[in-house]
Amino acid sequence: MTARPCDPKAEELSLALAVSGLRAGYGRGGDIVCGIDLAQTAESIVAVIGPNGSGKSSFIKTIAGLVPTRAGTVAVTGRDITTLSPARRVASGLAYVPQEANIFATLTIAENLKLATEFLRGRAGVGPEQREKVLDLFPELRQRPRTLAGNLSGGQRQMLAFACALLANPEVLLLDEPSAGLSPKIVGETMEAVVRVREAGVTVLLVEQNVAAALGIADEVVVLVAGRLTLRASAADIRQADLAGLFFGKAA
């Protein structure tokens, strides 16, 4: 971790993502996300892990704006985005890659890439330069631009989804289970891609069911149980910890 600045104001500004008191749920049901605070410094990778149904996916969807926020705030690089629509959040520097169906299957690769920035008027750093940078990270995408994205393999889809999210030149990238449905070899490649993304200067928050894969790349791990954060630790510390105890011991 970087040294903490003394001035609290300066500290807030150096945070890429600041979530405080976040509550969310669906329809008229109870809260699924029950008051989460999470601060993340720039260019770090934080992994959210936890048992099935603990609200990990809902948490990340709430940050992206797809689940309505009931209370609390979300700020990206010090700017409050809680009231913005999902589309406006992207323009504010927050990109999100959903778990599955994260590409437009009925559009071609080229159309997917084009659409990723077409409606982001006013977002700084979006343009041909960013496009080159992103396509250098995922060189396969330059081939076969006219292929329908729906005909890509699982790993290729994931790369296309990452590329589309990165074309928006985000400060923060939210990944919902990037390893879901991929073979072990492709999981490794996907995790390497996440590290490359961070090296390109992006802050990454990922939800991951595959704890081993997440621990391999994350700086910090937070454990989510029943909609609440129960633990936050550096990835190095948690490697020795008893994960079963973390997951179930504190679940009321």
Residues 145-164 that bind another protein (CB under 8 A): 148, 150-151, 164
Nearer to another protein, 84 or 226 (CB): 84
Using alpha carbons, select from 100, 116, 198 the residue that is nearest to residue 157: 100
Q: Is 116 left (phi over 0), alpha (psi -120 to 50) or beta?
A: alpha
Least distance between another protein and beta carbon 111 (Å):
6
Among 13, 43, 104, 215, binds another protein (CB under 8 A): 104
If one asks whether residue 64 binds another protein (CB under 8 A), the answer comes out as: yes
Number of residues that bind another protein (CB under 8 A): 32
If one asks whether residue 180 binds another protein (CB under 8 A), the answer comes out as: no
Least distance between another protein and beta carbon 99 (Å):
11
Among 25, 65, 93, 227, binds another protein (CB under 8 A): 65
Among 4, 53, 87, 201, binds another protein (CB under 8 A): 87
**What DSSP letter does each residue of 53-75 carry, written as one string?**
TSSHHHHHHHHHTSS-EEEEEEE
Least distance between another protein and beta carbon 113 (Å):
11
**What DSSP letter does each residue of 187-228 carry, written as one string?**
HHHHHHHHHHHHHTT-EEEEE-S-HHHHHHH-SEEEEEETTE
Q: Give CA–CA dist 156/138, Å, rounded.
A: 9
Among 70, 114, 131, 133, binds another protein (CB under 8 A): 114
Instruction: Copy the structure tokens of residue 115.
Output: 């659409």
Least distance between another protein and beta carbon 66 (Å):
5
Nearer to another protein, 74 or 225 (CB): 74
Least distance between another protein and beta carbon 159 (Å):
16
How many residues are there in the chain?
252
Among 81, 90, 173, 222, binds another protein (CB under 8 A): 90
Nearer to another protein, 166 or 213 (CB): 166
Of 43-51, 90-98, 129-137, 187-195, the window that binds another protein (rule: CB under 8 A) is 90-98
If one asks whether residue 86 binds another protein (CB under 8 A), the answer comes out as: yes
Contacts 24+ apart (CB under 8 A), 132-140: 133/200, 134/163, 134/166, 134/167, 135/163, 137/162, 137/163, 137/166, 137/193, 137/196, 137/197, 137/200, 138/162, 138/163, 138/193
What backbone phi and psi angles, to 5 degrees, belong to 41?
A: -75, 160
If one asks whether residue 106 binds another protein (CB under 8 A), the answer comes out as: yes
Question: Which residues on adjacent β-strands are paired with residue 203?
Answer: 172
If one asks whether residue 116 binds another protein (CB under 8 A), the answer comes out as: yes
Q: Give CA–CA dist 227/23, Å, rounded.
A: 9
Residues contributing to the site for another protein (CB under 8 A): 64-66, 85-87, 89-91, 95-96, 98, 101-107, 111, 114-120, 148, 150-151, 164, 168
